[in-house]
Amino acid sequence: MTYDLAIGDRAYSSWSLRGWLLFDAFGIAVKTHTARLYTDELAQLLTGFFPGRTAPTLRTPDGTVISETIAIAEELASRHPEAGIWPADPRLRATARVLAAEMHAGFVALRSHCPMNLRVSYTDCAPTDAVLADLARIDVLWAWAQDASGGPWLCGAYSAADAFYAPVAARIAAYNLPVSPRALAYVTQHLAHPSFRRWRAMGHADGEDQAFYRRDYPRRPWPGPQPIAAAPVDGPGSENDACPYSGKPVTHFAMIGGRRFGFCNAFCRDKTVADPEAWPKFIALYQS
Ligand SMILES: N[C@@H](CCC(=O)N[C@@H](CS)C(=O)NCC(=O)O)C(=O)O
């Protein structure tokens, strides 16, 4: 028995990212079930997660269904007190809860003008006054929390508060939104976080771009860590016979850092191509 988490497209579903970070960033195992947004896939998937109707929705090993990301955070923290989902210090924990709750309920202008899209970065998105007001409030909250905790994350070590703001950091990066240098440094930390990198890499492998998120703003390179050069290739032949993830025989191939590697399915090849260094099992092979 395991945790089962219903999620939407990783490149676009900001709430799914939050929900998944509550597992991956805290070392809690979870099995994900992906449905494409704007199709009937999510509704079909969620028939097994009654009465959930949004992504993420969680089914616990005892069969309890939990939707609403803030409820997932609270229940996981109760079930895994050792994981550090909320800070141990009562004052920092209270601050983290304030931050997560305000995120859960607010920042509507930012969320609607700049929907999360992990596949692009723009030079300018003409933010409205309402978006700028949301950003100013976020700057205040982040500085307030880091002044109290001393950093490096919002409330000391990485906590649920950071998981809740990871999609905001992604929006600031994707839409080149104006924030203070201190807030930008916090955004940069998110872009380099191993779990965030893994999620974004899987977001590149999840299927076609969703038309709903397309914008005509001028583009720039993604401002996070630049991945090792990699591309899928046809035909057999690779340094490894066994997939670094499953140990199964390789069937899908890629050129990574000028060398040929094999994987046992297209998704694992493509998530590796998107960001090879995000994957410890691949990097162990790459460095062996
Ligand atoms: N308040 C919910 C929001 C979840 C949400 O809106 N998820 C979006 C994907 S990011 C979704 O499921 N959209 C599909 C739909 O609403 O039908 C939470 O905290 O989890």
At 156-183, the pLDDT tens digits run 999 999 999 999 999 999 999 999 999 9
| Mean of the per-residue pLDDT values of the chain | 97
Atom 10 of ligand 1: nearest residue by CA position: 13
| Confidence at residue 1, expressed as pLDDT on a 0 to 100 scale | 78
Band of residue 141 on the pLDDT scale cut at 50, 70, 90: very high
Percentage of the chain modeled with pLDDT above 70: 100
| Confidence at residue 235, expressed as pLDDT on a 0 to 100 scale | 82
Provide DSSP, 155-216.
TBSS-HHHHHHHHHHHHHHHHT----HHHHHHHHHHHH-HHHHHHHHHHHTSSSPPGGG---
Kindly give the distance from the C-alpha atom of residue 184 to the centroid of ligand 1, in angstroms, as a whole number. 27
Residue 133 burial (CB count, 10 A): 14
Which residues in 18-172 belong to E strands, given as ranges?
Answer: 31-34, 57-59, 65-67
Kindly give the distance from the C-alpha atom of residue 8 to the centroid of ligand 1, in angstroms, as a whole number. 9
CB of residue 52 inside a 6 A radius of ligand 1: no
Statement: residue 135 has pLDDT above 90: yes
Kindly give the distance from the C-alpha atom of residue 235 to the centroid of ligand 1, in angstroms, as a whole number. 40
| Confidence at residue 150, expressed as pLDDT on a 0 to 100 scale | 98
CB of residue 15 inside a 6 A radius of ligand 1: yes
CB of residue 68 inside a 6 A radius of ligand 1: yes
Cβ(236)–Cβ(253) under 8 Å?
yes
CB of residue 189 inside a 6 A radius of ligand 1: no
Kindly give the distance from the C-alpha atom of residue 143 to the centroid of ligand 1, in angstroms, as a whole number. 28
CB of residue 14 inside a 6 A radius of ligand 1: yes
For 79-101, give one letter per residue: b (16+ CB within 10 A) or e.
eeeebbbbbeeeebbebbbebbe
pLDDT in tens, 78-121: 999 999 999 999 999 999 999 999 999 999 999 999 999 999 99
Token pair 């994981």 is found at: 83
Band of residue 221 on the pLDDT scale cut at 50, 70, 90: very high
| Confidence at residue 3, expressed as pLDDT on a 0 to 100 scale | 98
Kindly give the distance from the C-alpha atom of residue 188 to the centroid of ligand 1, in angstroms, as a whole number. 26
Average pLDDT, integer, range 183-197? 98
Which amino acid does the sequence have at 131?
V
Average pLDDT, integer, range 204-210? 94
| Confidence at residue 246, expressed as pLDDT on a 0 to 100 scale | 97
pLDDT in tens, 16-52: 999 999 999 999 999 999 999 989 999 999 999 999 9
What does the alpha-carbon distance between residue 19 and residue 7 come to, in Å, rounded to a whole number? 8
Token pair belonging to 31? 């099995």
